[in-house]
Structure 1
Amino acid sequence: MARGELRIYLGAAPGVGKTYTMLEEAHRRAERGTDVVVAFVETHGRKHTQAMLADLEVLPRATLTYRGAEFTEMDLDAVLARRPEVAVVDELAHTNVPGSRHPKRWQDVQDLLDAGIDVLTTVNVQHLESLNDVVAQITGVEQRETVPDAVVRAAEQVELIDMTPEALRRRMAHGNIYKPEKIDAALGNYFRTGNLTALRELALLWLADKVDDQLDKYRADHRINVTWETRERVVVALTGGPEGDTLIRRAARIADRTKGADLMAVHVSRNDGLAGADPATLARHRVLVESLGGTYHQVIGADVPRALLEFARAVNATQIVLGASSRGRLAQLFTAGVGVTTTALSGSIDVHLVTHERAGQGRRARRAPAALSRSRRIAGFLTVLLGLPALTWLLHLGAGLSLTNDILIFLAAVVGVALVGGLWPALLAAVAGSLLLNYYFTPPVGRFTIAEGENLLALAIFVTIAIAVSWVVDTAARTTRQAAQAGAEAQTLATVAGGVLRGERPLMALLERLRETFTLDSVTLLDDGAVVAEVGHPICTRPADADAEVTGDGNLVILLKGRALQASDRRIVEAFAAQATVALRQERLTAEAATAKPLAEADRMRTALLAAVSHDLRTPLASAKAAVASLRSTDVHFDDDDRAELLATADESIDRLVRLVTNLLDMSRLQAGALGIAPIDVGAEEIVPRALDDLGPAGRTVRLHIPEDLPYLHADPGLLERIVVNLSANALRHSPHDRPPVITASSLGPAVEIRVIDHGPGIPEDRWGDVFLPFQRLGDRDNHTGVGLGLALSRGLTEAMGGTLTPEETPGGGLTMIISLPTAAGR
């Protein structure tokens, strides 16, 4: 059975018309004879959307009961049993009520697709998992319902439903999206023009990436290698030379000319793994590319132009930026060079050859390290000076060997010298051996002349082979040494890039690793002349004190104290310096984030406080003022009952104000550490009834189960009473009328636990931590009651007395709050 196809209508913002457009498509398919059913559509009371359901088959919803309340969800089993050709399923990111087959609706949709049913669905851009945090930063609203990007990207069709911010705000103002009482708040918050513009751009960019994925897949499926200039992608080729900075900045300017263009830097490494660019320079170039918004890549290939073009075509690049050849004119006469070859083979990709300071000046080859140690070279020369005369004497004594055998023996001696001392001793041995063979063994003997042509050819072959063997042996030794050095450098850099930067303080760990690696006394990092970090003995604070100085990116300088560095060591230190730039930037960003977090939290608290208190202050004030104004009025005559009711209203409203102000002041003092606590030994049977009396008639409905032999608590009576009042009031607010709250108490080791139990709808376990945040009113049936300080204040007061306040699920449904305080004997 073929899998069904998924078509998603992606909304840039709520209210742009994605559900309406989805239903239009459902009507079009139904008119063409397709079997279409509406599995679930949420109209939100919008009459135009409601009208679109006409003439469409709408399946009944499933009713689920959760924590004493009823909810409706899409009936997945009914849709599967009905097996339509097309199912219309609204709100893909929706979270199902516990008890459903799947936690999320997008998982229900996967079942429909697996059953071969095509699905039309909707989702807003703020619900995409990858954009969730970005949307929260823009709008200030965190979306708890998300759908994985992979689910949306896997859809056969994704259609963006878009609308200009001005048009969407007009729709909002005309009442086409929300109810009239919500319009002003929406326009002033989520639906601000800046928010809508940002959401619109996010949706366009995300969809552009989706289109890129589809294009790449199409080109791969059809084996299309030519570049399709659907989007500007600029690739800059880096050699690891000093011209890299110029090339990167030039490529960035080219990319900036087209908004949305991609910048990619690529370095082609030789596939022998030995000869390569300076890793420190490449690391610095990587930092620069990423700071300009680009990405860094590294590929391996023996043929640099072909490897570069293969990468460019793979990413569908439109332009390549290369540096002009640094080779001299003589070298360019023999080979075309990377730039010319790349241009000739680039096809439809534009190639920019950028001039720089080193262009045409010839390559400055780094001085190659000696293949063998100095002692071995000396031993090679001694072998030539002592061994060849001795060999000549021995061969002269054992006369009778042919000239061919003499030449072979001398050739073996040259190879031995090459193995002992390397190239130059071997070359000396080849020249000296040819002279000795000529003088002592080639007729006429005793003269540097050669009578026969064959002997001349034999000596010439001897010299040629001797030089060639010497060169091969020396090259092999040099390559072995380079490989060992490259392996050591790679291992050191891998350790730096991996283990060090994963620490909590990457910069200090990096500098400490540098000090240990080269056994230095101290390592100091300067930024624009100021000491940023230092490890070891603090004796190096300025360049004059340093034994070595290495420049990092920008104004960063690393000063090393302890010993002078060799040229090969400086390469690794420069790589450390490049990584230090990354580590310093990471620590500064972390510090900025840590500084911004309290400010953001304070701003959130202030906003929540203003939103909550503005309502909860006005309501009792308005009630009290209305009651007092009515009593003072001379236009209306009130009897005793009316007057008593008005006085009770005023009294109750003032009590609410007193509780509100008291909670706010106590919370402020608690956070400032200025709340006075006077703990004494007190019984729970004294505190709890008194707290319930403060709740008035409602408090008398709470059932108590407190043992007479309960140990004394060590607590502040006034604060404990406040805690019980807050928890009991909260439990009363959430408990059904036929099942009032219950308060029990019991001893548990050195503590007494007071449990405030309600049988209301409860709160999911993953939200228990949120109930103790100030200004949270989770699960309130009346969202306009209280400012959400009760539980936060109660936990703070409990902890201030050395106790704990923790939630627990009530068996059978509901929430239990457990106050645990030390006993008088166990404190």
Structure 2
Amino acid sequence: MPRGRLRIYLGAAPGVGKTFAMLSEGARRGVRGTDVVVGFVETHNRPKTAALVEDLEVVPRKLMDYRGATFSELDVDAVIARAPEVALVDELAHTNVPGSRNDKRWQDIEEILEAGIDVISTVNVQHLDSVNDVVEQITGVPQRETVPDEVVRRADQVELIDMTPEALRRRMAHGNIYAPEKVDAALGNYFRVGNLTALRELALLWLADKVDDQLDRYRADHDIRRTWEARERVVVALTGGPEGDTLVRRAARIADRSKGADLLAVHVTRSDGLTDSDPANLTRQRALVESLGGSYHQVAGTNVPDAVLDFARGVNATQLVLGASRRGRVAQLFSRGVGVTTTARSGPIDVHLVTHEEVNQGRRWKALRAAWGVPAKRRKAGFVLAVVLLPLLTIVLSHLRGQVTLASDILIFQAAVIGVALLGGLFPALFAAIAGSLLLNYYFTPPIYRFTVHDPEALFQLVVYVVVGVTVSTIVDMTARKSRQVSQAQTDSQILSTLAGDILRGDADGGRDYSALAAILERLRETYALECVTLLERDPDEPATPVTNRDPDSWIIVATAGGTPCTSPDDGESDILVDDTLALVLRGRALPASDRKVLEAFAAQAAVALRHQRLAEEAEQVRPLAAADKMRTALLNAVSHDLRTPLASAKAAVDSLRSPDVSWSEEDQDELVSTAAESLDRLDRLVANLLDMSRLQAGSLGITAQPVAAEDIVPRALADLEPLESADVETAIPEGLPEMVADPALLERVLVNLIANAVRYNPPEGPVLVTASSHADRLELRVIDRGPGIPHEDRDRVFEPFQRLGDRDNDTGVGLGLALSRGLTEAMGGSISIEETPGGGLTMVVDLPTHRREQAEPAKRAEPADPAASDPAASDSAELAEPNLADPVMLDRVAAWRDRIGHDHDRG
């Protein structure tokens, strides 16, 4: 059976009309004869939305019991059994009631789609995983229900339901979205114009990305390689030269002229791994591209124009920015260059050739150095070998004249040329080839001792000798240079790879703790056996001076590795200017020019590490402010309702008692006074929790630790509970447990919070059980319920302030109970952990240190009379105090509780 098709209406905010659009589409399809049913729709009591539902067939919902309340959910089996052509299912990101077959509604929809039924659904942009944190930053409201972006991206159709912020606020003010009593709060909080505008932009950008993905897939499926100018994309090609900064800025200006245009930078590396690009320049240019909002890419290829154009066509680029050729005029006569070749092959892609300071400067000196290829000592040795070897061969072969033919003489001289090429490189080999041809002509080609050749065949042999000698010398020299380049590249790669690993680990010396910046400097010092490596920064308080200023007073030491740090660029044998403000100074020995690229890469990475370090320091300074702001926002959101409710109840009761217009009976007066007292007690607990949490965070909570017995503290905690709560609690505290070291008042608060929380979630058919046991020098108090439990991934979150994970029916408290309990327990030297109750439910474990009298009073300790007491194994087992099952009362209570909760897990 073919899979059904999914259509999603995406909204920027609640109330834009997603559900109305979904129902309208269902009605239109129904009129055309399509079999349409409503699987699940929330009308939110909006009359126009409810009117559309009346004209459609509605599949009955599944009723589910949860925490003593009944909820209705999508009945997947009923929809599949009904087998319509189209099912309308609202709220894609909805979380199902615990106990449902699937956790999320989008998983229910997947089952319906697999059954071959088309589905139309709705979702708001704030529920998408990828933008969930951004929405929280914008609105200050966390979204608990989310849906993976991939689920929405896989949809066959996604349609944006859009509305201007002003129009949406008008709908809100007219009461078309929320009830009248909620309108003012909504308009002043979530539905502010700025929030709605930002959410609208998020929805538009997310949908634009999906459209881009669809376009890319369509072009790939249909093998379309020509550019479609649906959206401006500017690609800038970087060679690693100094002109790259100019090109990036020029490309960014071109992209800025088109609102929303993308900026992409690409660098082509040679497939053989050899490159003459400057890694320091590329690192700086990559940072520049990313700071301008672009992205950096690197591709491999042997033909630069083809690689650049393949990349540009692959990203559907509309414009390409290249630098004008740096090659000289003579070189351009032999090759058109990358810019001209790329322009000729670009097709519909516009190409911008940008001039820069390096234009026509050529690479003369660089090319000349590359042509020499070998160190000066070897070149000199090559010339010496040619000067010595060629005359010596001439003398030896002259004595063998008549025994050795001219062809043999030429081959022997050819071998000498190759030997000179291997030793001294190209130019000594060229000298040897030309000198050898003259010696062969003068001494061995008839007529001898004259620079003439009568025999055409001999002339041909000499010409071939010169051509072969030059060719072989060039190839041998090129191979030797490539081998050296490969060796150098491997060495550089290994150094840079080690550098990257050190940066990631922040560790450069046998496990010592280094920051990324310190790791870079230490690795550089060790790699090149330097005495000291120092990163200097120009003093910002000094007057603006050129970066080449060497005055020590103009520089500040940022970081150093090794001995005495350098105070200015003149203090070292080598220095590398990273940018206008930073310089890396090396002291210990002069490094060869061939290491310059790697040193510049170290310097560039040091600059990046310094910036990241400073950003991290700034973020660390801002983090307390952000945490305080987040706490303040959460406090206002939670307290605005939870403090107001008991205060309003108490005020209403007191106002009623003071009313002169009503004569209250004595029973009514008692009820009103009781209501006011309960509300004020509840308000007192909320305020006390808030004050205690603030003291914990400020570190000013006073702790009075003393021995406390579990059999004393648990009843006191139960006495502090509401009567209805304490009636649902049973205790099983064994005798003979050691005392805990804790603050009695604070421990009582902890137990009250935990037991009240367990009672709230425990099903009515079974009580909450409080037990205790000791292990070694720790005592554990367990509060056990049979409620729905908490998913493993959310167990740390429940201890955060103002959290109510999935608490649908709880409208009391500000979500501080568990957070405060953990804080108080840790302040007393203990801990709180969460375990699963066997057979289902949650167990909160309070772990505290014990106080042992035998340790406090060693003089009273006597020799054990029981032989088992002297046995270490028996002593260890005696350390574990379990409920006394020999006590009939204790045995009956534990057995009754176990029978009540069941033990299916034992039978399994």
Structure-2-length-normalised TM-score: 0.84
- Give the letter aligned to residue 357 of structure 2: E
1:97 aligns to what SS in structure 2? coil
Match for 2:276: what amino acid? G
- 2:439 aligns with 436
- Corresponding residue for residue 711 of structure 1: 738
Partner residue in 2 for 1:387: 389
Q: In the alignment, is the contact (CA less than 8 A) between 1:325 and 1:359 conserved in 2?
A: yes
Q: Which moves more between the two structures, 653-662 or 785-794?
A: 653-662
Instruction: Measure, in 2, the Cα distance between the counterparts of 1:220 and 1:3.
Output: 23
- Does residue 461 in structure 1 map to residue 464 in structure 2? yes
SS, match of residue 368 in structure 1: helix
Q: Cα offset for 1:778?
A: 4.8
User: How far did residue 767 of structure 1 move?
Assistant: 3.2
* Candidates 819, 823, 833, aligned match of 1:796: 823
Are 1:292 and 2:295 matched, yes or no?
A: no
Residues 591 and 567 (structure 1), Cα distance of their counterparts in 2 relative to 1, 3 Å cut: same
Q: Does 1:130 align with 2:136?
A: no
* Matched residue, 1:609: 635
Structure 2 Cα separation of the partners of residues 577 and 518 of structure 1: 14
**Could you tell me which amino acid in structure 2 is paired with residue 415 of structure 1?**
I
Q: Is contact 1:631–1:643 with CA below 8 Å preserved after alignment? A: yes
Q: Relative to 1, partners in 2 of residues 1:409 and 1:676: Cα closer, same or farther, differing over 3 Å?
A: closer
What one-letter code is carried by the residue in structure 2 that aligns with 1:380? G
Do the aligned residues in 2 keep the contact of 1:67 with 1:814 (CA within 8 Å)?
Answer: no
The 1:648–1:566 alpha-carbon spacing in structure 2 relative to 1, beyond 3 Å, is same
- How far apart, CA to CA, are the structure 2 residues paired with 1:368 and 1:219? 44
Give the conservation status (yes or no) of the 8 Å contact 2:520–2:606. yes
Against the structure 1 CA distance between its residues 502 and 144, is the aligned structure 2 distance closer, same or farther, given a 3 Å change threshold? farther
The worse-fitting range, judged by mean Cα deviation, of 524-533 and 638-647 is 638-647
SS at match of 2:736: coil
Other-structure match for 1:21 = 21
1:484 partnered with 2:494: no
The Cα offsets for residues 614-662 of structure 1, whole Å up to 9 and x where unpaired, read as 5555555555556666667777666655555555555545544544444
Look up the equivalent residue of 2:593 and give its one-letter code: A
| TM-aligned CA deviation for residue 155 of structure 1 | 2.0
Q: Amino acid of the residue matched to residue 399 of structure 2?
A: L
Structure 1 distance, partners of 2:406, 2:809, is 114
**1:201 maps to which residue?**
201
User: Which residue of 1 is the match for residue 776 of structure 2?
Assistant: 749
Residue 256 of structure 1, CA deviation: 0.6
AA in 2 matched with 1:823: T
Structure 1 contact 762–779 (Cα < 8 Å) conserved: no
Cα 1:775/1:143, change in 2 over 3 Å: closer
Asked whether the equivalents of residues 284 and 553 of structure 1 are also in contact (C-alpha less than 8 Å), the reply is no
Mark the CA change 1:667 to 1:242 in structure 2 (over 3 Å): closer, same or farther.
Answer: closer
**Following TM superposition, by how much is the alpha carbon of 1:198 offset from its aligned partner in structure 2, in angstroms?**
0.8
Aligned to 1:162: 162
Which residue of 1 is the match for residue 9 of structure 2? 9
Task: Give the match for residue 563 of structure 1.
Answer: 589
Q: 1:87/1:263 Cα in 2 relative to 1: closer, same or farther (>3 Å)?
A: same
Gaps of 5+ in 2: 507-513, 540-555, 856-908
Give aligned pairs, total.
827
Q: Residues of 2 paired with 1:69 and 1:622: CA distance?
A: 26
Q: Which moved more, 1:643-652 or 1:328-337?
A: 643-652
Query: Which range is displaced more, 457-466 or 7-16?
Result: 457-466
What is the deviation of 1:229?
1.3
Q: 1:730 to 1:83 in 2, by over 3 A?
A: closer
CA deviation vs aligned residue, 1:575-602 (integer Å, no higher than 9, x gap): 2222233333333333333333322221
SS in structure 2 of the partner of residue 93 of structure 1? coil
Q: Which amino acid is the alignment partner of residue 592 of structure 2?
A: Q
Cα distance in 1 for residues equivalent to 2:757 and 2:242: 69
Residue 500 of structure 1 corresponds to: 503
Is the aligned partner of 1:422 residue 2:425? yes
Residues 500-547 of structure 1, C-alpha deviations (whole Å, 9 max, x = no match)? 245483322222222222222222223444333322224213222222
More displaced 10-residue stretch of structure 1: 226-235 or 480-489: 480-489
Overall identity of the aligned pairs, in %:
67
CA distance in 1, matches of 2:216, 2:177: 38
More displaced 10-residue stretch of structure 1: 796-805 or 613-622 = 613-622
Distance 2:373 2:799 in 1: 71
The CA deviation string for residues 428-481 of structure 1, in whole angstroms up to 9 with x for no partner, is 333333333233323333444444444344333333332332222222211221
CA–CA separation in structure 2 for the residues paired with 1:616 and 1:110: 39
Q: CA deviation at 1:379?
A: 4.2
Residue 472 (str. 1) matches residue 482 (str. 2): no
Q: Is the 8 A contact 1:760 1:815 kept in 2?
A: yes
Deviations 1:124-175 (A, max 9, x none): 1112222222222212222232222222222221111111011111111222
Aligned match of 1:371: 373
Q: How does 1:13-92 map to 2 (within 5 A)?
A: 13-66=13-66, 68-92=68-92
In the alignment, residue 505 of structure 1 is paired with which amino acid? S
Give the aligned partner of residue 752 of structure 2: 725
For 2:363 and 2:210, the matched residues in 1 are separated by: 44
Q: Which has the higher contact order (CA 8 A, sep 6+)?
A: 1
The answer (yes or no) to whether the contact 2:534–2:565 under 8 Å persists in 1 is no
CA contact (8 A) 1:69 1:761 kept: no
> What letter is aligned with 1:394?
V
Q: What residue identity is the alignment partner of 1:787?
A: V
Tell me whether 1:572 sits opposite 2:574 in the alignment: no
Question: How many Å apart are 1:740 and its aligned residue?
Answer: 4.5
Cα distance in structure 1, aligned partners of 2:658 and 2:53: 57
Q: Is the 8 A contact 1:497 1:579 kept in 2?
A: no
Letter in 2 for 1:33: G
Find the aligned partners of 2:703 and 2:291 in 1 and give their Cα distance. 54
Residues 317-342 of structure 1: CA distance to partner in whole angstroms, max 9, x if unpaired?
11111222223334444443333333
Q: Give the direction of change, closer, same or farther, for the CA distance of 1:101–1:426 in structure 2 (3 Å limit).
A: same
What is residue 321 of structure 1 aligned with on the other side?
321
Which whole-Å deviations, capped at 9, do the CAs of 1:391-434 have from their partners, x for residues lacking one? 23332333323323322222222223323333333333333333
Q: Rate the CA distance shift 1:365–1:184 in 2: closer, same or farther, 3 A.
A: farther
* 8 Å CA contact 2:39, 2:58 repeated in 1: yes
Q: Which moved more, 1:315-324 or 1:431-440?
A: 431-440
Contact 1:67 1:813 in 2 (8 A): no
Deviates more, 1:400-409 or 1:128-137: 400-409
TM-score by length of 1: 0.92
Q: Summarize the alignment of residues 750-769 of structure 1 with structure 2, pairs less than 5 Å apart.
A: 750-760=777-787, 762-769=789-796
Q: Which runs of 5+ in 1 are unaligned?
A: none
**CA contact 1:269–1:276 (8 Å) conserved in 2:** no
RMSD: 3.0
User: Given the superposition, is the C-alpha separation of residues 334 and 800 from structure 1 closer, same or farther in structure 2, using an over 3 Å criterion?
Assistant: closer
Q: Note the C-alpha offset of 1:223.
A: 3.0
Task: Flag the 1:453–1:618 CA change in 2: closer, same or farther, 3 A.
Answer: closer
Greater Cα offset, 51-60 or 483-492: 483-492
Distance verdict in 2 for CA 1:736–1:542, change over 3 Å: same
- The equivalent of 1:532 in structure 2 is 558
Q: Does 1:523 align with 2:533?
A: yes
Range with greater deviation from structure 2 (647-656 or 147-156) = 647-656
| Counterpart residue number, 2:899 | none
**Residues 431 and 463, structure 1, Cα contact 8 Å, conserved in 2:** yes
The whole-number CA distance in structure 2 between the counterparts of 1:669 and 1:226 is 66
Find the aligned partners of 1:612 and 1:387 in 2 and give their Cα distance.
95
* Higher mean C-alpha displacement, 780-789 vs 599-608: 780-789
Describe how 1:630-779 pairs up with structure 2 within 5 A. 644-645=670-671, 648-649=674-675, 651-695=677-721, 697-698=723-724, 701=727, 702-735=729-762, 739-760=766-787, 762-778=789-805
Q: Amino acid of the residue matched to residue 346 of structure 2?
A: S
Q: Which amino acid aligns with 1:568?
A: S
Secondary structure (helix, strand or coil) at the match of 1:33 reads: coil
Quick one: which amino acid aligns to residue 146 of structure 1? T
Aligned partners of 1:734 and 1:780 also within 8 Å = no
2:411 alignment counterpart? 408
- Distance in 2 (alpha carbons) for counterparts of 1:98 and 1:634: 50
Secondary structure of 2:155's counterpart equals coil
Contact map agreement 2:573 2:590 (CA 8 A) in 1: yes
40-49 or 192-201: bigger deviation: 40-49
Identify which of 573, 584, 592 aligns with 1:547.
573
Answer with 256-265 or 557-566: which moved more: 557-566
Instruction: Tell whether the 8 Å contact from 2:569 to 2:583 is kept in structure 1 after alignment.
Output: no
Match of 1:53, SS state, is helix
The Cα offsets for residues 61-115 of structure 1, whole Å up to 9 and x where unpaired, read as: 2233445544332222222222222222222222333443333322332333333
Are the structure 2 counterparts of residues 813 and 372 from structure 1 closer, same or farther at C-alpha, using a change threshold of 3 Å? closer
Q: Match of 1:151, as an amino acid?
A: V
